[in-house]
Structures are given as structure tokens and as C-alpha cells.
Amino acid sequence: MGSKVAVTSPIPAEFAVADINRLLFDLNSAFNPLHPGCQVDFHVSAVKDGYVFLSVALPEGMTRAYVTLLESLNGMIRCMDVKSRAVAAQSRVHDVNEREDIDARIAAHKAKVVARYDGYIADGCDSAEATKRTNASFKCEKHPWASYEVTKQILREAGKFRKSKKRG
């Protein structure tokens, strides 16, 4: 009869393949250094100038699982970084486009205010009456920017209230 040779696994019994999932996913025991049953030994040592030296002591059988965990976390963080950059770039593009659209609407409104004011002045209204009528015309349209103060400010910026200098 042949002799039987006992096969020993390089992985200790407490870290058998069936237990790797427990070690990786049960945060209450495997990787929590404050848990009394923690099988992973963490060390933090001060070096100098505010730097620290971190070390992790693992059982031999757990090295590959731990490195795999770190690689997958690294891949996940890279993926999240790429996606966050893409989202940030898209939001900047949308913000620029929206800002351009808003600026165009404001410019168009200002041009309409000035044109209507000039029309009322051409009809013989004085400046105060032309301003009132201009504002009233936008209020009749229920325009969201139809207020006397806004209309007056637009006309002031356009230089409509400056008195012409008479030479003589």
C-alpha cells in the first residue's frame, strides 16, 4: 500500500477561499482595525514634517485578495474621475451656451426698449412721457422685465437722458 501524503495549503485555515468573501465584505471584522477579531494589522508611524508612514501586515494567503481589492478601488476611482470630468465639461458648455442665450435676449430687449423710446420721441413726446409709454407698451405685452426702473436704467445706459450741449 502506498503512503498517504498530507497536502497542506499555503493559506491558513482561517483564510480559506470560502472566507475571502467574509474578509473582503464583512467590514465589522476583516478590515476594521478597531474590531478585536481583525486579521489585518495596520500601523501608522510619524515620519517628519507632517508626513506619516502607513503599513499593512497581511496574512500570506490574503495578499492577492487585498491587492485585487486595491486595484479594483483604483479602477473605480479612475472611472469616477473620468465621468466627473466629463460631467463638469458638459455643464461648462451648457452654462456658456445658456449665458450666451441670456445675453442675446437681454441685448434684444434693450434694443427694443431704445427703439420704442426713439419712436415716441419722434412722435413728439418729451423724455419722461416717452419713458412712461415705452414701459407701458412692455407691460401690455406682460413682458417679465416691464418695470419703470428697468426701462429707465436701459435708456440711461443707452445715453438717452443726456442733454445735448448747445454751442453758442
**What pLDDT is attached to residue 20?**
58
**What pLDDT is attached to residue 13?**
52
**What pLDDT is attached to residue 44?**
87
Cβ neighbours of residue 24 closer than 8 Å, sequence gap 6 or more: 30, 31, 65, 69
**What pLDDT is attached to residue 57?**
84
**pLDDT tens digits along 89-138:** 777 777 777 888 888 999 999 999 999 999 999 999 999 999 999 999 99
How is residue 145 annotated by DSSP?
T
**What pLDDT is attached to residue 33?**
64
DSSP 113-128: HHHHHHHHHHTT--HH
**What pLDDT is attached to residue 156?**
92
> Mean per-residue pLDDT for 158-162?
88
Q: What is the pTM (predicted TM-score) of this model?
A: 0.44
- How many CB atoms are located within 10 Å of the residue 107 CB? 10
Query: Phi and psi dihedrals of 4, rounded to 5?
Result: -95, 130
> Mean per-residue pLDDT for 47-58?
87
Average pLDDT of the chain? Answer: 79
**What pLDDT is attached to residue 125?**
92
> Mean per-residue pLDDT for 16-37?
59
**What pLDDT is attached to residue 18?**
54
d(CA 3, CA 12): 24
**What pLDDT is attached to residue 62?**
79
